[in-house]
Chain A
Amino acid sequence: MRVRSILGMLAAVLVTILAGGAEAFAAEPIKIGGLFAITGPASFLGEPERNTAQMVVDEINAAGGVKGRKLQLIAYDTQGDSTKAKQLVNKLIKNDKVVAIIGPSTTGDTMAVIGDVERAEIPLISCAAGSKITEPVKKWVFKTAQNDGLAVAKIFDYLNRKKIAKVAILTVSDGFGSSGREQLKANAAKFGIQIVVDDTYNPKDTDMTPQLTKIRSSQAQAIICWGTNPGPAVVARNVKQLGIKLPVFMSHGVSSKKFIELAGDAAEGIILPSGRVIVSDVLPHQDKQKKSLMAFVKDYQKHYKVEGDHFGGHAWDAIMLLKGAIERGGDTPAAIRDALEKTTNFPGIGGVFNFSRTDHAGLTKDAFVLVEVKKRDWSLVRQAGIE
């Protein structure tokens, strides 16, 4: 009995010494919260985001930190569940006392935590794409992922140049697809484009020939499919199976090598809007983002043995924007927010960011380039007047 209590006391003393000791050696780090869907259905977003955020924070610290202070990333896993996201955001704000938060990964999770960060007055840089996150503008909420509407505009712009006016849209019946469908329908009139077939498929569907048969017998001059893997790969294969010769467009949701791998030869000739990450090596040298892109892609490859992707890029942008804001403003939540809003001309991974009082998304449709699948690889679609 006595031995145990002595041991207990000893342990307590040790802990105090160690904890106090660590604090005494360095200025207290700046705490940044992270909310990512590391597991669960959106893990393809959250995992590279968390990896990238940790990688960038480590590098900033290795280079001496921000204004002499280290950054500390406290990242939690929302599992893509908005209830969890809401609990965790409160944990970050109340227990961990972070000065800013990056993430969450999905639009649903982000919408769930907006109320909490607005109330607590903590700046949040979301890595999700939904345009409703920053429309209308919320004082404390920013985002780095490109709006779906920009991708739609990029495709419609191309269709206008090719004088294609009638399209069929085939969208997946999940959050990503329905947001894309809304944007496609909302923007069509502006570009003088008529949607002649508006059809959907379910995320787990394995055969889309019925929908495509319907499209084949319609007036459509092009097919636009909006979804994330594997659905669009099935669509591409079914298009080939049915011998449909119409041009096929996809969304930025499939702009990864995985899509080409899944669709195989059926991917050939498909055009889609994409962030610049996947074509970083073939970008012209005057491209403002080229330097950031090459640095990120190589760095990620070195750390995690796979190529950096768009999703990791959203976290890269978020941390770098935050770093810039702390350098220019200060390390209190209010100072960070004000400095973030004044960020202009920041060449990141997702695009060149220009935040303002009326724009917390900061990107234009030039954040996307059009890419075409050629010989199982991406190639830039060059358009007169755009590049």
Chain B
Amino acid sequence: MNNSMQWSRNCPIPISSDALRISLAHGEGARLSRRLISEIILPRFATATSRGFADAATVTTIGCRLAICTDSHTVSPMFFPGGDLGSLSVYGTVNDLAVAGAYPRWLTMSLIIEEGLPIVILERILDSAAHAAGECKVTIVAGDTKVVPRGAADGLFINTSGVGELMDPVPPGPESIQVGDKVLVSGPIGRHGIAVMSTRESFAFEPSPLSDSGSVIHAVASLRNSVGEHLRTIRDATRGGVSAVLHEWAMECGHTFALTESCIPVTDEVRGACELLGLDPLYVANEGTIVIAVDPLFAEIALNAVRQVPGCGQAAIIGEVQPKRITPVTIRRNFGSPQPVDEPSGAPLPRIC
């Protein structure tokens, strides 16, 4: 991604007023629907047959256990520094499978398109989704499109469902977390939320904060291969950020997570934006950064393994699990005694002054 690009809340593609746009007729099952599918959608997904997607895709497994998940994606603006809705809709579901211990294999993709969406935008989003799917070696095997009247959706909503093959050893989950375990993150936190917010609100931050939107398959694989059975659990820290993940884990395992602020990687761009807006990076969304709980004896090995993965060079051990206290998550800031970290409540709203 070119850092020097100028981002605004508008789509970076200039759209002429007479550009071809999606109409309700594109969703009514007749010739325009067929052309939308056969000319715009199918050519981008190489494995779909020339006749289009079958009513139901059939896939073959070799007797392994499967993981299944689904996720709906909407983001305003659809294009932001570091990503867009298309790639996000693939990475989001792929990452949900990966952190569950599965190797993502197949996706379905369902588009809900608002009447009036320029076709060139749809094409660009689909190109990006196809590129992300290729990068993740995941096949889009089934799909659907619906067109809704103008105003009934925000441009484009994408739902993707995914199926993956579970890879041994599968992390047992947050209930297996024990006192003394270490907590890691795979990179600087809060990048996606700040990138989207600063684009949506046209903040002229220089340089533009970049989203971390991306696949975590390689990071998870590196953990599986290095410290396999010593992993407790992994989660991608999306909405609600790292704080939301740790609060959920604390509920499951009944312990307290004690963080050290100086160990938490945060980029200067995110830190500056958060200071300005009165936000805390712990609550800000990520889209390609994972939180890991691991046996303390294997934490350094896990850290070194993750750091070898491209894009994860700033992975860090950010805290440890302690016996249950009144608060599920605490943080030791630069000075003084540890303070509680609150559970996020709704979207963060910037302060007045």
A and B assemble together = no
